[in-house]
Structure 1
């Protein structure tokens, strides 16, 4: 009697197959068992090729020969050949793109800060990507000096997490100026979709001034491509600025 064809579709069933295996039979008078078919999932994770190796053991009425193990390989989208320069293959270190390669961007998650206003005197920027990856994503974050109005004196401190995972706090004018001039590298860890927040605490100076923009750009991505959100703007308001669109006697942005 032939054994019934089984289809495993739930994660629990599939995990049991991987953990415990199954028993198959070559029927009397035949030379092979029915084919074992493994249909791969189309996930949204950026990843290298993955091997699936099946072994056979515990033979009944037979002996295991030299082919007691077999390997199948699952490729990510657009993977073709790992042995040549393939621009659509994460196994190729020269790759610029791939089907699941994350698109990374930066946004001002707290885009406005007011000098001297407790609880509202910091700008926050977040570097994030659209899907998970099996690799760390790194990008450089740097001030766009041409589009920004601020200088180091407008900032009290900067807090960010560097590419090694260390939280850094910049408090001196020299440290802050170096951040503005040279930027820093930040990391989205493998399995995550965003880097720790970059917080810029603004200084409460005694200068009567218009609102000032601080624009951060990202560049030099590793294991990701920069999408349309490659730049983000935060705005620092002077004390008493409320609304630039109406007549506001306490707002230097209001002519």
Structure 2
């Protein structure tokens, strides 16, 4: 009460006061955080982080932010460390601008947390608010490839270099573990290291291979370098480098020679000799292939390889012809070098070949003709014509026949016009079947002649005559 008038002098009773509380129908405002979840490192725009009030207030709301995650400070720029939501507004923002560099770092995160809220008529954080922006790296996952010197002479003054190369530089050292194989032994070379380290921010690293100069002929040898593991990147498409150490001693070569002819029934054997141009410190094994017109059953080779012992110049095998009863004609065994191993890298001297001719001890087979001489026209059976070889052969013999005589074509039927004598057999046959008619024709002849022979030659008897006796 600020004053009382009238009422015949009425006055305030002491100090009088009444209070009315107006209850706000809006709740205490809270702040939430959201924003862009992913942005590419080289994107033209920026990521946006938004702080949102549940209810507008009559005063500015200031949201303080903290930044964490796998991205470092140099990987992005935040437009501010606080977001101010103006009085009467519901939202405020900042931006995250990723830095486009040339390093591979992988996808990285920027984690934004609310560290405090002031103003906004007592506004508070809604629970625990957090927004995460993933910066997608625009560099691909780096890969490591291997390359280097391909050839170095054993007595060279320098060394061979093996280089590991990254497709993209990274922010950490890349360690490439190596394995060593090949035909060169541990004593044939020395490596400067078994790992290559590519420093952070660099693209390459190297090791060296230093060949040992000895006085032995070992042939060209290889050092095969393989990537066995990569820390900090992955293996690429080319994970192997090969260094060939060229021997400064002359490479030995192998030649082939031997017996040129042997009779099928000879008491001895044919000898095939492999000869080295220079003796070596290890056995030389010469692998052989066998071809020619002779089949596997026509001879026996004592071995399919010739071993020339260390320190020696020659080695041999034998060819023993099989003495069979078949006529095959003269046949050849052609021996070729199919490979040379050992001998400290010995090789075939050009193309080497030895030929052994096996002379057949059977004469050229001949064919003779024989058969039934007489058959009655109405006989129950047939007349048989037989072709006989003087010696069996390894292939079918085909005897072509011609038919003549006083009998006409209608007076008989021949089962075939050729006789085939199968391989390995001595004879073959056809039949003559007389036709039983009601006509009197008298006795008639079928004269069968050899007209051609395939696989042999015609002998002394090349004709057979069958007389058909008339039953009228």
Matched, 1:149 2:430: no
> Is the CA contact 1:215–1:233 (under 8 Å) kept in the aligned structure 2?
yes
Q: 2:348 maps to what in 1? A: 66
> Is the CA contact 1:140–1:218 (under 8 Å) kept in the aligned structure 2?
yes
Provide closer, same or farther for how the CA distance between residues 17 and 103 of structure 1 changes in structure 2, counting only shifts above 3 A. Answer: closer
Match of residue 430, structure 2, among 198, 207, 221: 198
Provide closer, same or farther for how the CA distance between residues 40 and 237 of structure 1 changes in structure 2, counting only shifts above 3 A. Answer: same
> Is the CA contact 1:142–1:216 (under 8 Å) kept in the aligned structure 2?
yes
Match of residue 321, structure 2, among 40, 43, 53: 40
Matched, 1:138 2:398: yes
Please show how residues 1-255 of structure 1 align to structure 2 within 5 Å. 21=303, 25-33=307-315, 35-43=316-324, 44-47=326-329, 49-53=331-335, 55=337, 59-67=341-349, 70-77=353-360, 100-108=363-371, 110-118=372-380, 120=381, 122-143=382-403, 145=404, 148-155=405-412, 157-160=413-416, 184-195=417-428, 197-208=429-440, 210-239=442-471
Provide closer, same or farther for how the CA distance between residues 47 and 77 of structure 1 changes in structure 2, counting only shifts above 3 A. Answer: closer
> Is the CA contact 1:101–1:133 (under 8 Å) kept in the aligned structure 2?
no
Q: TM-score, normalised by structure 1?
A: 0.53
Which has more strand, going by share of residues?
2
Q: What is the number of residues matched between the two proteins?
A: 176
> What is the CA-CA distance between 1:142 and the residue it aligns to?
1.0
> Is the CA contact 2:303–2:317 (under 8 Å) kept in the aligned structure 1?
no
CA distance in 2, matches of 1:227, 1:16: 30
> What is the CA-CA distance between 1:158 and the residue it aligns to?
2.4
> Is the CA contact 2:340–2:348 (under 8 Å) kept in the aligned structure 1?
no
> Is the CA contact 1:57–1:64 (under 8 Å) kept in the aligned structure 2?
no
CA distance in 1, matches of 2:402, 2:341: 63
SS of the aligned residue for 1:229 comes to coil
> Is the CA contact 2:327–2:360 (under 8 Å) kept in the aligned structure 1?
no
Q: TM-score, normalised by structure 2?
A: 0.31
Q: 2:191 maps to what in 1? A: none
> What is the CA-CA distance between 1:203 and the residue it aligns to?
1.3
CA distance in 2, matches of 1:70, 1:205: 69
Listed as ranges, the gaps of 5+ residues in structure 1 are: 1-6, 9-13, 79-98, 161-183, 240-251
> What is the CA-CA distance between 1:57 and the residue it aligns to?
5.3
SS of the aligned residue for 1:206 comes to coil
CA distance in 2, matches of 1:59, 1:16: 26
Which has more helix, going by share of residues?
1
1:194-237 deviations in Å (ceiling 9; x for gaps): 44x32221111234565433221102333322112211122222
SS of the aligned residue for 2:319 comes to coil
> Is the CA contact 2:337–2:348 (under 8 Å) kept in the aligned structure 1?
no
CA distance in 2, matches of 1:193, 1:38: 29
CA distance in 2, matches of 1:75, 1:23: 21
Listed as ranges, the gaps of 5+ residues in structure 2 are: 1-267, 270-296
> What is the CA-CA distance between 1:74 and the residue it aligns to?
2.2
CA RMSD of the aligned region, Å?
Answer: 3.8
